[in-house]
Amino acid sequence: MGYVQPRKFSTTPSRALKQFFPAPDAPSIRTTEAAWPHPIYTKEQMDSVVIAHREAKTWSDWTALAAIRTMRWGLDLATGYKHDKAVASGQKSSKNANQKHVMTARKYMIRNVFLESVAGVPGMVAGMLRHLHSMRRMKRDNGWIETLLEESYNERMHLLTFLKMAEPGPFMKFMVLAAQGVFFNAMFVAYLVSPRTAHRFVGYLEEEAVITYTREIADLDAGRLPEWENLAAPDIAIKYWHMPEGHRTMRDLLLYIRADESKHREVNHTLGNLHQKDDPNPFVSEYKDKSIPHPGKGLHHPKPTGWERSEVI
């Protein structure tokens, strides 16, 4: 069966409120290469991504976990996200589920757009503050800034990809504006007070993102999202992730995005384990013995709950 081109899912109930985006192909515009080329993921690596949770061990961890649970509740409320765990686990069919808990393609797309519109904030805030801190101290940052900015750039690419399939209306744009304003300032203050707690918070945030995308893939496989079954990934996604021929469906796209979120989970939990001022960034470091598992940009040696400081320093 052939794939159909991406179509846009309105995030507003009325077609009159739709905000139309430019056509996917703009011949008069020359595209540029990505600022940070994306590493190549294999299908086996993406399929091996698992849901994981790092247990809170310190007051800093518990503070971050409490904050993410509060944010998760607010995000679920704002996006209308309710997921029937019995349906997800296969204990009952979607026909027998409470319809308020049945996630549709439209509901998922609303959540994805909203989630990715704020997910790009932490890396930018942390990278900016570390950039200024490096200049004030007149010392190198040991590779942290680039990784944090790359994370923010990657999250924005997720958003731009979804915007090729979604059409946010005025209300959704207002929600994004309000959430981004609050979240930016909260992250700014949090990173000034305790960078370690901020990284742990983002690690827990990415844990939730992996859960959400895993549920989307499961619902798609179970036939609960018929709109996405033959949907092709947009051109922006194919170019950014270097998606090979025959692996350019909506399901493939979700696999790539989930893999990215799993990497952000690993990176931030690892950074939260390090000394914030002087430890080098292990994800851009060169290792003498490359045969030994070590952190890197790809998914070659995944550590869902992060690398401990003793393992990388």
**Domain at 225, CATH number:** 1.20.1260.140
Q: Binding site for Fe cation: which residues?
A: 116, 155, 158, 206, 261, 264
User: Exposure string (b/e) for 4-21, b if CB count within 10 Å is 16 or more?
Assistant: eebeebbbbeeeeeebee
Q: Does residue 113 lie within any of the structural domains?
A: yes
Residue 16 is assigned to a structural domain of this protein: no
Give the per-residue pLDDT at 172.
83
What local confidence, expressed as pLDDT, does residue 82 receive? 72
Domain with 278, as residue range(s), is 57-83+94-312
Domain count, the chain: 1
298 belongs to a structural domain: yes
Q: If residue 269 lies in a helix (H) or strand (E), which one and from where to where?
A: helix 250-273
Distance CA 264, CA 8 (A): 27
Whether residue 4 is contained in a domain is answered as no
Q: How far apart are alpha carbons 67 and 60 in whole angstroms?
A: 11
* 243 is a domain residue: yes
For strands 9-10 and 166-167, give the pairing. parallel
Asked, for residue 130, whether it belongs to a domain, the answer is yes
CA–CA gap between residue 94 and residue 223 (Å, rounded): 10
In sequence order, what E strands does 127-276 have?
166-167
User: Consecutive 10-residue runs of the chain (313 residues): their mean pLDDT?
Assistant: 55 40 56 81 95 95 95 78 57 51 85 91 96 92 94 95 87 86 94 96 96 95 93 93 94 97 97 93 88 89 94 87
> Own/partner pairs for 239-248, CB < 8 Å, 24+ apart?
239/31, 240/34, 240/38, 240/157, 240/161, 241/38, 241/41, 242/38, 242/40, 247/43, 248/3
Question: Which residue do the tokens 């997910």 mark?
Answer: 119
